[in-house]
Structure 1
Amino acid sequence: MSEQTLPYDKKSKDSILEHAQRMLGKTLWEMYGEARLLDTGKGSLGNAVEKYHFQYEPNSKSEPDFKEAGVELKCTPLKKASDGSMLSKERLVLNVIDYIEEATKTFDTSSFWEKNALLLLMFYLHEEGKLPYDLIFKIVRYWNFPETDLKIIRDDWTIIHNKILAGKAHEISEGDTLYLAACTKGSKAGAQMRRQPKSDKLAPQRAYSIKSKYVNTIILDSLNHPEMHKGLFISEQQKRKILKVQESAESVVRSISDYRESETFEQLIERKFSPYYGKTIAEIEKMLDVEFSQSKAMAYDVCKAILGIKSKKIAEFEKAEIAIKTIRLEANGNLKEAMSFPNINYKEIVKEQSWEDSALYEMFTQRFMFIIFRKPAVKNDKQVRLEKVMFWTMPFEDLKQGKILWENTRTKVAAGNYEHFIKSSENPVCHIRPKAQNAADTTEGAQGFQVKKMCYWLNREYVLKLINSAKKA
């Protein structure tokens, strides 16, 4: 079809959005019967929307889909929660990174920004067993990154870019960054490999992506705009939950002016904590005119008080999926306990096809904030001292040990062997042992019978070593 007969003006943002919203509440089958001929593989629905609805051939160009209007089209799935409510199914995957080309760019000339500055998001409801052309579009909208989010995204891009410049593209991890991640992209058995500058090592193919929890904030925002959605079901219980989350999440950064020159979000957090280093809980209470309960949540309450957060959650931490871990050193600086992670889901681990797609990989590559305290010689929670806070993601070399643990565990679970998992003496980084208090605390194994609950742990010596290294830095 010629440009003159397109059903929208490809140079007009308003016209493109208006045409896109004709898909609201509809399937491709309803709009374009011939779409039933499309490929049913991953990404086929997005390609079909481009071909049938917008009438241009799908491509992998580095420029936006609608170049003249500066608009990039992305189709992304919703999933149904147990009560039927529709939420984000996965991260939003953007463009593939050409390491050689991206190394020559600044943020403003990067492939990420040139392609994704303005996103046209078309959310469809994923339903198991249905073919792509039978899936209904529930949300169609534009998304501009708010100024405070864009500051974090710029810093995230810089972190990724610096690794590329250093010839370390093969060491990039999703946990390196907060909102903008570089996820592996390729076959399920492992990503394709690409050349990188300043290194002979091939790096896994990666694409820029927006983390799933951030995508949920876009969905929640859409609820406030009736013209953006149709048939978007959110149960009353879920609505109350959403409102509670919105009301209970407060931003640390209210304005770009909160940052000092060249300061990142994590540096801002560390700056806010530094005046309280070496202070006891009792002294921090006096300084902030607050009183902390002596509960397991005390560390998080201290964190919120120092950051000036009065709500239940920290908005930036939620969107960035930052996991807060409390570490309590003994009075002499030693660490008594290893660091625990969730229990192993035996039924799921045997279904995992690759390390990069595993639950453990996701856990170990997330971003952590450690809040480190030192206990007093005599037990007294109010005399515990705040030592330091630090952000951390497991280094590339250490992830190799995580992979060994995962492979060994998966093999043993598949064989019905639940008694001989890797111990801390057998792996320098991580191990498996029970977190349960007694033998009666069991769960269903992959074979259907009851077995003892086991969980992943980071070794005590490993955690202490990384804390001591951070103190010297």
Structure 2
Amino acid sequence: MVLQYDDTDPLSIERYGKKLVGKTFGEVISDSKLPYDAKQKLFESYGNKNRKGGLGNLIEELHFEYKANSDQNADFPKAGVELKASPYKISKKQKLSAGERMTVTMIDYNNPVEEDFEKSHVFEKIEKILMVYYLRDRSLPSNLDYSIDYVKLYSPTEEDLLIIKEDYKKINDKIKAGKAHELSEGDTVYLGASTKGSTAEKSTVSQYYNPDVKARKRAFSLKSGFMTQVLNNYIIKDKDTYEPIVKNPLELKEKSFEEIVKDKIERHIGKSDEQLCLELNVENNNNKGKWSTLAFRMLGIKSNKAEEFRKANIIVKAIRINEADTIIESSPLPTMPLSEIAVEEWDESHLNNYLEESKFLFVVFKEENGVLVLKGCQFYNIPKSLLEGEVRRGWENIQKVLKEGVQLTKKQEKSRVVIENNFPKMKDNEVIHIRPHSAKSYYLFEDGSTHGAGKEIHSDLLPDGRRMTKQSFWLNNSFVYSILEERLKK
């Protein structure tokens, strides 16, 4: 069977999905390639006003021509796109709101939880969603009379993903504690654990972490309030949240992806950051994120959520070099749990996996007469020899401190107390070092006392039960400077 869209391309799926706008579900059946008898059976089955769900299946099977299933993977696996048909309603005051929460995927009580959000079925299902909104009008005689009014590709914003990720952790923490039976949608902000099943008695199952106590079946769901915001702020306003860098696949027949990226940035070489802010509509402030935002805008995207970057694990780093030919600050890597670093094997460690799979795109600004000027960009991935040599040595020295016990020492500095530790310093390794990643500090000592303006959430658990401010690995600024091409330094 030849599909009328490219099932590997999210934008092609969206374009074909938009052909549904203006149709009723009855028309979706009528326009399908099914024989007459099969269509009549569907009219009888789905025409029942009391029937719950299933309208999304009609779209999947009749419009997109693939068999609906309960697979945990995304509906269009080659493109990583999930299809969600969702109702909306209009109030007497003509305000639009989501008709219900959006079920993402069932919570599995039978197996250990997936702690890495980015590897979870939840993340896979919400990373790119083809939202199909239809107006639920109870005055109409049949569900099949509901009209499909909006079709839009949607991805949660970076800010929303941070909250969803924290919600995911809260739900999993309760499950791991053997308290799945105590889950409540009120526990979380955007991502809830909604109940599934007709009655509490019939829908209870055993818990992997607490086999003696049964828990109500639940699903990870995006709450109706969140979905109302999505509807009003993104779907109706037709705002793009999914952002491919290469919007026309034909470009890739002429140039490689990396060449396209470099061309987009290097056409701005010689411009100051102030000039770029004016051209690209970016607020000209001194926030650290400003220069990364400029890099994204030069690429025609708003954040590091570009489809190509996600697939290729490309990390954008804005590098600023001062007039003394020194990079202004080191480059942070993601936070990595200290308690896990202490027990990892190097080959399976967070740091090794991250650096081995990632490629960096350094976008370089150089200070000239007090003004930061764009010099260009460079792709770079850490070679295996360096990873297995200096990086591994640095990681092992840090792990040694964790295993033997981190020494936390209070030191008076003028009017404040600071906490020093015995982790290796930047000068001890040519490539990496470890230091705080959180702006707020929090320490819990063996006697139960605490220190810092932050909260427990700003800290990591140490192997001995104490807590210290979240740490992350950083690429040394001297190392990054050494690998930059000479033209970017001048």
The alignment's TM-score, normalised by the length of structure 1, stands at: 0.47
Q: Which has the higher helix share?
A: 1
- Which one has a bigger Cα radius of gyration? 2
Which has the higher relative contact order, 1 or 2, with Cα contacts under 8 A spaced 6 or more apart? 1
